[in-house]
Amino acid sequence: MFTFDDKSGRSLTRRPEGTASICPSYVEHGMHKRAQPVKVWYWGPFFRHEAPQAGRFRQFSQVGAEVLGTDEPSADAELILLLDELLAGCSEVRLRLSSLGDAETRGAYRTELRDWLRAREGELSEPVRARLDLNPLRAFDSDDPGTQAVMAEAPKLLDRLTDEDAAHFAEVRALLDSAGLEYEVDPGLVRGLDYYTRTVFEFESGVLGAQAALGGGGRYDGLVELLGGPPTPGVGWAAGIERILLAGYSGESGGGPRVFVAVASPVRRREAFDVVRRLRGTVHVEAADLDHTNRSMKGQLKQADRLGAHYTVILGETTEFKDMRTGDQREMAVADVLKKFGDG
């Protein structure tokens, strides 16, 4: 939690996520009396007092979607497919999926796992041992090789589900299968929040490093009731905008060439401004730029190089189109340059 005292000494805590506040507002605004289910979405800043590192910030942005008022597996599958669509532009995306069953199954399993791990305590890493009583499931998250070897043999919650919960999970999977979505069933998938029941899932990107989760969520069938409302099933997800950008714009995966517009005749400066503006609006250009500091022609070409331009358009007595990789240069009318990149 990001908690601090303000100037008048009040202790303030900034919101770490959106789900826990959506649940009471669903009741407060009478949404539980509307035709069910109710679908909501949100976007905004969230705060967690974690040690910052690549992809993990104390202030970040989430986009989220929640469906309240149905426990049908089709709602789970629909949301997972929606997030998959949202993450389509990201590199090396994979989806992990599991089910945590109901609170009772999970409680019994937690005790079983804790006792099982106690018997092999000596093989576990120190941080895992220290949290055995608090949350033994977290041991699945450990990157310590000794702990991982133990966890590979540990009893799995997925094998302990009630018939009803197992059937629910099978239906979610069947719907994803028929939609052609690839995923990995990971019985060790541990989500960082405690309110989950049944379906849990997480999308990761292989290009993100240690903080690989792009977005995730699951079902929280007891949360509305826990927060003072009527018994109401719910399911949803949230995704990190900064991580989506980090995973979507890495390496060479950009959307088209960069174009620099150089001015060789000062009389064409205003025209250059207009050409850049129009290039930025075309579908086939990732970025367009021009010189703002009256550089010489040589200086402008150097700047084009620095900015990683693939092409430079030179506006002088003639208009020239230069391929920065091959060095080829030929005359081309401005209208044809724009047409080449999809304008007009």
Residues that bind ligand HAM (CB under 6 A): 17-19, 48, 50, 56-57, 60, 62, 64, 66, 192-193, 213-218, 220, 236-240, 242-243
Helices 73-86 & 163-178, crossing angle to 10 degrees?
40
263 in Cβ contact with 292 (< 8 Å): no
CB of 229 to ligand HAM, least distance (A): 16
Residue nearest to ligand HAM (CB): 240
Q: What whole-number distance in Å separates Cα of residue 216 and Cα of residue 243?
A: 12
The residue (of 47 and 273) whose beta carbon lies closer to ligand HAM is 47
CB of 166 to ligand HAM, least distance (A): 21
- Per DSSP, the three-state class of 101 is coil
Distances (CA, A) of 221 to 43, 82, 262: 23, 20, 60
At residue 184, φ and ψ (nearest 5 deg) are -120, 130
Q: How many CB atoms lie within 10 A of CB 194?
A: 9
CB of 81 to ligand HAM, least distance (A): 15
Q: In one letter, which amino acid is 163?
A: D
The residue (of 192 and 230) whose beta carbon lies closer to ligand HAM is 192
CB of 20 to ligand HAM, least distance (A): 8
The residue (of 101 and 236) whose beta carbon lies closer to ligand HAM is 236
- Per DSSP, the three-state class of 228 is coil
CB of 47 to ligand HAM, least distance (A): 8
CB of 86 to ligand HAM, least distance (A): 12
Q: What whole-number distance in Å separates Cα of residue 58 and Cα of residue 50?
A: 6
The residue (of 235 and 338) whose beta carbon lies closer to ligand HAM is 235
The residue (of 62 and 105) whose beta carbon lies closer to ligand HAM is 62
The residue (of 101 and 218) whose beta carbon lies closer to ligand HAM is 218
The residue (of 166 and 241) whose beta carbon lies closer to ligand HAM is 241
Q: In one letter, which amino acid is 141?
A: D
Q: In one letter, which amino acid is 313?
A: V
CB of 238 to ligand HAM, least distance (A): 4
Task: Identify the bridge partners of residue 311 per DSSP, sorted by sequence position.
Answer: 259, 323
Q: Nearest CA to 101 among 221, 182, 185?
A: 221
Q: What is the DSSP letter of 250?
A: S
270 in Cβ contact with 242 (< 8 Å): no
Q: What is the DSSP letter of 157?
A: G
The residue (of 189 and 262) whose beta carbon lies closer to ligand HAM is 189
CB of 110 to ligand HAM, least distance (A): 20
End-to-end CA distance of the chain: 52
